[in-house]
Amino acid sequence: MADASDQRPVVVGVNATQDAVVLREAASLAARLDTGLVCVWIDTARLPREGDGTDASSVPVDPDVVGADDGESEVLARVRSVLDGSAARWRLVRASGEVVRALTTVASTYDAQLLVVGTRRPGIVEWVDAAIGGSVAAHLAHTQRRPVVVVPQGRSE
The answer as to whether 70 is a domain residue is yes
The answer as to whether 4 is a domain residue is no
What average pLDDT does this structure show over 65-86? 79
The answer as to whether 118 is a domain residue is yes
The answer as to whether 3 is a domain residue is no
Q: Is the dihedral of CA 21, 27, 33, 37 positive or negative?
A: positive
pLDDT bucket at 117, cuts 50 / 70 / 90 = very high
CA separation for the pair 59, 127 (Å, rounded): 31
The answer as to whether 2 is a domain residue is no
The answer as to whether 146 is a domain residue is yes
What average pLDDT does this structure show over 67-83? 81
What is the CATH number for 85? 3.40.50.620
Supply the DSSP string of the chain, one letter for each residue: ------SS-EEEEE-TTS-HHHHHHHHHHHHHTT--EEEEEEETTEEE-SSSSBGGGEEESSGGGTTS--SHHHHHHHHHHHHTT----EEEEEEES-HHHHHHHHHHHHT-SEEEEEPPPSSHHHHHHHHHH--HHHHHHHH-SS-EEEE--S---
The answer as to whether 36 is a domain residue is yes
What residues make up the domain containing 131?
A: 10-151
Number of domains the chain contains: 1
The answer as to whether 131 is a domain residue is yes
CA separation for the pair 70, 120 (Å, rounded): 21
CA separation for the pair 29, 22 (Å, rounded): 11
**Would you call 97 exposed, middle or buried from its count of C-beta atoms within 10 A (0-12, 13-18, 19+)?**
buried
Report pLDDT digits (tens) over 25-47: 999 999 999 999 999 998 887 67
pLDDT bucket at 122, cuts 50 / 70 / 90 = low
